[in-house]
Amino acid sequence: MLKEQVLSALEQQKGNIVTGGRLADSLGVSRTAIWKAVRQLRQDGNEICSLQGSGYVLARTNDTLSALEIGDCLTTGFIGRSMALLPTVHSTNRYLKEAGTESMPDGYVVIADGQTDGRGRKGRVFLSPKSGGIYLSILLKPEKAQSDVRLLTICAAVAVSKAIENVCGVTAGIKWVNDIYCGGKKICGILTEAVLSGELQELSTAIVGIGINTGGVPQELGGIATSVLESAGLQGVRNRLAAEVLNRFEAEYLSYLEAKDNRDMLGYYESRLFIRNTHVRVSAAGADYSATVLGIDETGALIVRDSEGVVRHVTAGEIDIQLI
Ligand code: BTN
C-alpha cells in the first residue's frame, strides 16, 4: 500500500526533510499521489509536517504503530511473520480465541493500538488506552506435549525484560510470575491462556498476551504503574520495541522447546526477580502466610521459606503476592 511505503521512506529519514519529488520518483507515482498518502497518514495519527515547497518531515516523536516498520525490525523465523494490526479491539487474546485458531499459522500475532476490554490474570481489567501501549497476542502451536502455561509466561517475561533493557536502556525487573517492573512500578503484564485438546487434555494451542505501557499511564494507575516512556525518557519506540519483544520471544521459546532443561532462561528470570530475598505475603487457595522468596524451581514455581522455616513451592494461578 502506498501510504505504508511513504511512511517507511519517511521513517528512514525521521526528523529530516524528504522532498515530494524524491518520494514520487522512488515509489514511481505522482506527487499528487504522495500528497494524498501523506494526508491519509496524518488522519491515521502520524505527525508529519509539510514544508511548503521543500517536502515532508516525520516528527522524531512520531509513535504510530506500523506493520511495515515492525516487519522491518523483525529477525524472527515464524513469530510475527503473519500479523494483524488493529486500531482498536476488545482484547487481542479474545480476538485470537474467537477468530478460530485452527486456520491461523503457528506464530501468528495480533497487535492493537488500543483495547476496550483488555484482560489480566484472574479476569482483572487491563487498562489499554489508545496509543498508550503495545497490546499484542502471540498464537503458539507447540508440539512439545508437556508445554506448560507457566513456562510460556516465563519465556515471555524474559523476552520482555530483555527487549525493554535493549531498546530503552532501563533495567526491567520481574515480579513472579507475570509482571515486569521499572523503577518500582508495573510496566507490563502477561496473560497466557491454554487451549487444551484430546483425551489427555494436552496443550495444543496457547495464546501469550503481552501488554506494555509506553505512553501516559491512566491517572488511576499513576501510583502503581509506569510506562517505558516515563522510565527511559524515550519517545517513538513502540514499533522497535514490539519487534524486539517478538524477536526475543522467539529465541526464548525455541530454546524452551528444544532444551532438556531451561537453566539459561530460568537463570535470567531469577537474575531479574526483584522480590528475591524479600519478605512477601503469600495468599494461596485457603492459605495466607508471610514468607521469604528464595527463587524459582525448574517448573517455574516460586520457592519461598515460611516463618516456620518450611520451604514451599508456590504454583501459579493460586497465589497473590503482596510486598510487605
Ligand atoms: C496482568 O497484568 O494480569 C496481565 C495483563 C495482560 C494484558 C495483555 S494486553 C494484550 C493481551 N490482551 C488482553 O486482553 N490481555 C493481554
Cβ of 190 closer than 6 Å to ligand 1, yes or no, is yes
Cβ of 132 closer than 6 Å to ligand 1, yes or no, is no
pLDDT of residue 260: 74
DSSP, collapsed to helix, strand or coil, labels residue 180 as: strand
14-28 pLDDT, tens digit each: 889 999 999 999 999
pLDDT of residue 216: 64
Mutation to probe ligand 1, out of 126, 135, 208, 224 (largest number of atoms < 8 A from CB): 126
CA 69 to centroid of ligand 1, rounded, Å: 23
pLDDT of residue 230: 64
Sheet-wide strand order for 319-323: 311-314, 302-306, 287-296, 279-284, 319-323
pLDDT of residue 212: 95
Which residue ranges in the chain fall short of pLDDT 70?
144-147, 216-235, 285, 316-324
pLDDT of residue 305: 95
DSSP-assigned letter for residue 104: S
> Is the pTM above the cut of 0.85?
yes
CA 94 to centroid of ligand 1, rounded, Å: 10
Which three three-digit cell numbers place residue 318? 493460586
pLDDT above 90 covers what percent of the chain? 63
**What Cα–Cα distance (Å) separates residue 318 from each residue in 69, 128, 139, 315?**
40, 25, 25, 7
Cβ of 58 closer than 6 Å to ligand 1, yes or no, is no
pLDDT of residue 4: 86
Residue 93 CA: which ligand 1 atom is closest?
A: 12
CA 49 to centroid of ligand 1, rounded, Å: 35
Mutation to probe ligand 1, out of 210, 217, 224, 320 (largest number of atoms < 8 A from CB): 210
| Nearest residue (CA) to ligand 1, atom 3 | 120
Cβ of 107 closer than 6 Å to ligand 1, yes or no, is no
CA 38 to centroid of ligand 1, rounded, Å: 33
Residue 179 CA: which ligand 1 atom is closest?
A: 2
Taking the C-alpha atoms of residue 115 and residue 83, their distance in angstroms, rounded to an integer, is: 17
Query: Considering only CA atoms, which of 169, 189, 163, 185 is closest in space to residue 268?
Result: 163
pLDDT of residue 286: 75
291-322 pLDDT, tens digit each: 999 999 999 999 999 999 999 999 865 566 66
| Mean pLDDT taken over the chain | 89
| Nearest residue (CA) to ligand 1, atom 16 | 209
The residues near 239 (Cβ < 8 Å, ≥ 6 apart) are: 65, 66, 69, 70, 73
The residues near 147 (Cβ < 8 Å, ≥ 6 apart) are: 203, 206, 257
